[in-house]
Amino acid sequence: MLTLPFFGVLTYPQVDPIFLDLGLIQLRWYGLSYVAGILCGWLYGRYLAGNPRLWANGVSPFTKTDIDDFILYITIGIVIGGRLGSVLFYDFARYAEDPLAIFRVWEGGMAFHGGLLGVVVAIAVFCRVRRVPLWSLTDVVAASVPFGLFFGRIANFINGELWGAPSTVPWAMVFPDGGPLPRHPSQLYEALLEGVVLFLVLRIATHRFKTLQRPRFTAGLFIFGYGCARIFVEFFRMPDVQLGYLYGGWVTMGMVLSFPMLLVGIWAMASAKPRAYAPAPEAAAGPDVARP
């Protein structure tokens, strides 16, 4: 049996994954994280859409009301896409044997890459219905996503899932289902990098460098930044047990799915060009400027 010399191990703060038990109904931190992420993302998206200083000529291509209406679309996209991503990319055999498990979302099992594809579909459908610029809405969504990533990774930590590789670092923890060895709290690494750091990078880009004036640059920066953060953390995170390492004892499915994101992000940033929007006639009546 592998043993590691370790000099200090932090106590894993075991938190009940159910934060409110109402008998027939149980409210879990996992579900709450999605609510918190969508709520914060919605409020921040409204702020970006309603801030004329961030847009060329002071004109936003959509209104705060557009962002309000978009919430339903993106929520459906996140849930369906995230779930299908988990089924198809990470644990198809299990769900093939028990198809009803697909609907037991309270047991966990949401994949970011699948959720991303669901969001892309939601944006495309909404832009077609409401006739708002696709890339600019994608930029606003991208700048708001880190909230959901942060809360989602914190929920993973509370659930004691997706823990890291065995480690001797002073902040290593022994997870309840991770065996006797102390491990990297890789969920917290991801919360920090994908949530806090990525949000700050995007915030500087949109406010300091006014990247919303160059449609798809902010989205490209998000895609590239997430890909870098995810690939980095994969070196400290254990692969899904049903998949293991795909090659060489270090390549994981998370890396494979994230690498194309680097290329897409570079393309989006390199090809982004400045664009200004003309105010709609109804925008003259108030500060909530509208689409072109």
Map the chain to HEC letters. CCCCCCCCCECCCCCCCEEEECCCCEEEHHHHHHHHHHHHHHHHHHHHHCCHHHCHHHCCCCCHHHHHHHHHHHHHHHHHHHHHHHHHHHCHHHHHHCHHHHHCHHHCCCCHHHHHHHHHHHHHHHHHHHCCCHHHHHHHHHHHHHHHHHHHHHHHHHCCCCCECECCCCCCECCCCCCCCCECCHHHHHHHHHHHHHHHHHHHHHHCCCHHHCCCHHHHHHHHHHHHHHHHHHCCECCCCCCCCCECCCECHHHHHHHHHHHHHHHHHHHCCCCCCCCCHHHHHCCCCCCC
pLDDT in the model for residue 48: 98
Question: Whole-model pTM?
Answer: 0.85
pLDDT in the model for residue 283: 47
β-strand partners of 282: none
Q: Is 291 exposed, middle or buried (0-12, 13-18, 19+ CB in 10 A)?
A: buried
pLDDT in the model for residue 147: 97
pLDDT in the model for residue 285: 46
State which residues of the chain have pLDDT below 50: 1-3, 6, 283-292
188-222 residue pLDDT tens? 999 999 999 999 999 999 999 999 999 999 999 99
pLDDT in the model for residue 280: 60
> Do the beta carbons of residue 270 and residue 111 sit within 8 Å?
no
